[in-house]
Each structure stands twice: as structure tokens, then as C-alpha cells.
Chains A and B, each alone.
Chain A
């Protein structure tokens, strides 16, 4: 049984890079679809189906920028600056 599981893992590891990237992109798309549908419902925004591609494009853009900020490590005592003084 263990040997069979290990073989499965090896086969997964051997999956071509392009295929893994395609799978990741599909997962990302699914996540965006779910976030848009659930978020719009929770906020009471009625989405016309013709807007969905534009909203998803922009949300992906925002989340791309957000990932760049999120990967930056800040100390736990970092203060936000919502009331900002230059």
C-alpha cells in the first residue's frame, strides 16, 4: 500500500511544469470565481453577467499587487497609517 502511494507521488512529481502551471491557473480562476460570487452576494451587489469578466480581471490585478505587499515582512508592532501625517 505504502509502495503504491509512493509511486503515485513520484508520478505527480514527474508531471510536466506546464501542466502544473495550467492546473494552478485553473485553481486561481476557480478561487476568483468563488470570491466574486460570494463577495458580491455578501455585499448586496447584483452582478450583471456581462460585468463578470471585467470585475475578475480587476480583482486579479488587485490581488497581484496585494501579494507583492503581503510578502513583505513587517514587525508585529507595525502601526497602520489610516490617519496619515506626512
Chain B
């Protein structure tokens, strides 16, 4: 429970803020005002927000305080400020998706489904967040809005494409936020910014009223500074939604009440082969997490490198298909790095794309079988800690690789078949790095239980950056 004044709760979690608002220790308005003040003070450096919905937030907070004053119950996220990657529809704002082109769109008339669900649980939307153009990015750089900056070193990348999400949560501006993950865009910024990120099972959370990228691979999910806050946000967003054709008809399966079960009885292995760590910090992080969870065996994810290649092709082709009209009429308005990739994707022969989709089904069947032997698999989240903004290559063992295309080389083979993953932050010095906890489809509970157990043991943590 918080015992500090509202002005000093800036690294407090969602659960603590909700408890403080529900008990009357803080008003929801005081929390919203302090959050807005913090954004004004710190975001000129972090560059994480592209819009701050100040009036809306204050009105919403006033309504929550009035609800409490009437003695009516508040939701599990009462008064908790949050923000969303700017590909989520926010009523009254054009849905930028990181682009210049979408600035010409009319404002959205209704919020994305996940925003509606979070606000129904008492959360307070505070703004929209910077991102890589059209989500085709692993760096967090944006040619139109400028790069989001890593809260642990402002000269370094946040990772992308949910770069503003990583900066806003890692920098203490909001306790949680939402992003999207097509090939790693939640897990990469989580790793580089030293926070927790959940990419749920494909089809678990509705994508209705968000700007898409690759329908076959798009996921939405939360970022936070604790596993418990991830679970609270995730639980509030679950549920079938017919407006998203990929949303599965699953019951709501709350995870937060299960966290205390910890890691007891769970069989954990480390991904070998393609995922075998390659740099000092990556190996150190995996070793530390594996030791804490008693993961003393390796397991081979078959054909992982080929899976990454297949994800690469599907992404290029589907992404290009989405933007084909804009490539014909407004190609000059794209970020050149995104434009060139999209045009190349449009030229990819269809027969190869279909082959990748066939391989995807084969690969899924092989990987699912691994979960007969284990409950969770550990793998690195990124091949390195945060590169410098503008850095074009990094060393991967003895090989020099381009940053933009390769920061997600460990995340792509996993999202390709929609497995749920929690990225947990290992607080190494001078920079944090993430580890993926991968579970079987629909078993977000297992990944979140393990993340929570690691946090309780002090193995993983979202460290407060020097301000």
C-alpha cells in the first residue's frame, strides 16, 4: 500500500494506485494531475507521447471520485492512468500508427475495444504513444515524431515498434500501457527498456478498432513494471469480441488470482540450438533466470531459423498488401526505410508466401508437442542490450548484423505461431535485458506465474532509472 503523497508515486504500480484510490488515500483526480505533471516534466526528453488526453483524463478521474463518493464499488484498476500505442483508436484523435499519412484521417469516433474494457475496470486513459511507422520497426525510431528514448540512457534506443510504450512505462510516466506485437514489438522494447511485457496467445485479445499491420501475426498486449500489473491489465481486457475475426471464443480466464502459486510443479527448459545465447549479457540473463527456476535442461525448438524466415516473408507480403494503395499514391510520405521494405514485400512472389503459411502450420504442430515435456521454455528476448539511437549494425557473436532487421531474431519464431510470452527484465548493469518465458497456447497463466515468482525472488525487476 502506498504511504507517500500523490506527487511522489511516480514509480508506483497499478495495483497500489488502484488500492490507494479505492481506499480514499488518493483521489483519482490527484493521480491524474500528478501523472500529467510528470509527462510535462519528463516527456520532452523521453519523447514517448504523441498526444496527451488531459481533459478527457481529468473528466474521467472526476467521475471515478464521484462514484466512490456515492459509495459505489470501483473496478480493479480504479484511477490507474494508462496510455496506448498510437495505432489504437482513441475517440477524437486520428489513429496515426506512427505515420505522416494517417494524420489526414478523420478523428476516430470510438475507442478501441481494449481501451473500453480497461476504462470499464476503472483505468484512466492519459494519451497516445510514439511508435515506429506502421509498426514495421524494431528500433523505436520515427522519422516524423523523432525517436522515443531509452529511460536508462537517453542516447539509446527503446526498441520498437512500441517504442513510446517502453519509454513511458520504463521512465515512470504511467504504470502500464498497451502496445502491439507482430514480430516482437512488445518483447523487444520490454527487453531494452527493462520492463515486463505480455504478448498473449494469438486470438486472445480483441484487435478491434486498431490500425493493423500483418493480420496473420498481429497481437495486442500490456507493458508494466511488475507481473502482477500485467495480469491485472490482461484480466480486464480478456473476452471474446466478434468485431475481431481472429478473436477466439475463449472464456475469460483470470490470471491475477493464480500468481501466488509460483513456480511449484512447473517444468521449465532453456531453448537450445538457434536460441543458444550469443553475447555476454544475453547468456548472463538466461543463466540467472534458468538457475532460479531450476531449468537445467535444454530443449530444441525445431526449424526455428526457418520459422523466422517464414515470418519475415509473411510480414513483408501482408504488410505490403495493406499499404499497396498508399504506395501507389503517397510513397513519398512514408519513412524511406519502411517504404523500401514495403515495396520489396509487394514484389515477393505469392507462391513463396503460401509456402511460408504452409510451413507455419507444420512448425506449430512440432512446437506444440514440446509442451508435453515442459510447461515453459526460456529464450533470450533480444540479441543485445539497447543500441545507440541511429546505430545501424551490432555484433552478434563474430557477425555484424543490421539492427533494424535483426533485433527481433529471437522473438519472430515464437510469435509466428502465436504462443503466449512474458518478457521479464533482468536488471544487469549498465543496461537491462529481457528473457522470454514461452508457454503453450492459452497458458498465459503459466508464463505470468513464473514471471511473478522470479520477481518475488529478486531475479527480475523493472529498475527505476536515474532521472
A binding-site residues for B, Cβ under 8 Å: 35-36, 39-40, 43-48, 51, 54-59, 61-63, 65-66, 68-70, 72, 74, 78-86
- Chain B residues with CB under 8 Å of A48's CB are 331-332
A-B contact pairs, 10 of them (CB 8 A): A40-B347, A44-B328, A46-B331, A51-B339, A81-B216, A81-B358, A81-B361, A84-B360, A86-B419, A86-B441
Q: Evaluate contact between B312 and A82: CB separation under 8 angstroms.
A: no
- Chain A residues with CB under 8 Å of B216's CB are 81-82, 84
* Binary CB contact string for chain B from 409 to 444 against chain A (1 if under 8 A, 0 otherwise): 000000001110000000000000000000001100
- Chain B residues with CB under 8 Å of A68's CB are 305-306, 309
Task: Tell me if B201 counts as interface (CB < 8 A to partner A).
Answer: yes
Task: Tell me if B242 counts as interface (CB < 8 A to partner A).
Answer: no
State the main secondary structure of chain B at its contact with A: helix
**In whole angstroms, what is the CA distance A63 to B348 when docked?**
7
**In whole angstroms, what is the CA distance A65 to B314 when docked?**
11
- Chain B residues with CB under 8 Å of A40's CB are 343, 347
* Binary CB contact string for chain B from 390 to 416 against chain A (1 if under 8 A, 0 otherwise): 000000000000000100000000000
Task: Tell me if B313 counts as interface (CB < 8 A to partner A).
Answer: yes
Task: Tell me if B30 counts as interface (CB < 8 A to partner A).
Answer: no
- Chain A residues with CB under 8 Å of B309's CB are 65-66, 68-69
Interface positions, chain B 191-249, Cβ under 8 Å from A, are 201-203, 216, 245-246, 248
**In whole angstroms, what is the CA distance A51 to B411 when docked?**
29
**In whole angstroms, what is the CA distance A48 to B336 when docked?**
11
Size bracket, chain B contacts: 35 or more
- Chain B residues with CB under 8 Å of A78's CB are 358-359, 361-362
For B361, give the chain A residue with the smallest CB separation: A81
Task: Tell me if B278 counts as interface (CB < 8 A to partner A).
Answer: no
Task: Tell me if B355 counts as interface (CB < 8 A to partner A).
Answer: yes
Q: Which single member of B248, B341, B356 contacts A69 (CB below 8 Å)?
A: B356
The CB with the most chain A CB atoms within 10 A, among B337, B352, B417, is that of B352
A86-B348 contact, Cβ under 8 Å, with A61-B405, A69-B356:
no
Q: How far is the CB of B412 from chain A (nearest CB, A)?
A: 10
- Chain A residues with CB under 8 Å of B355's CB are 66, 69-70, 74
For A39, give the chain B residue with the smallest CB separation: B347
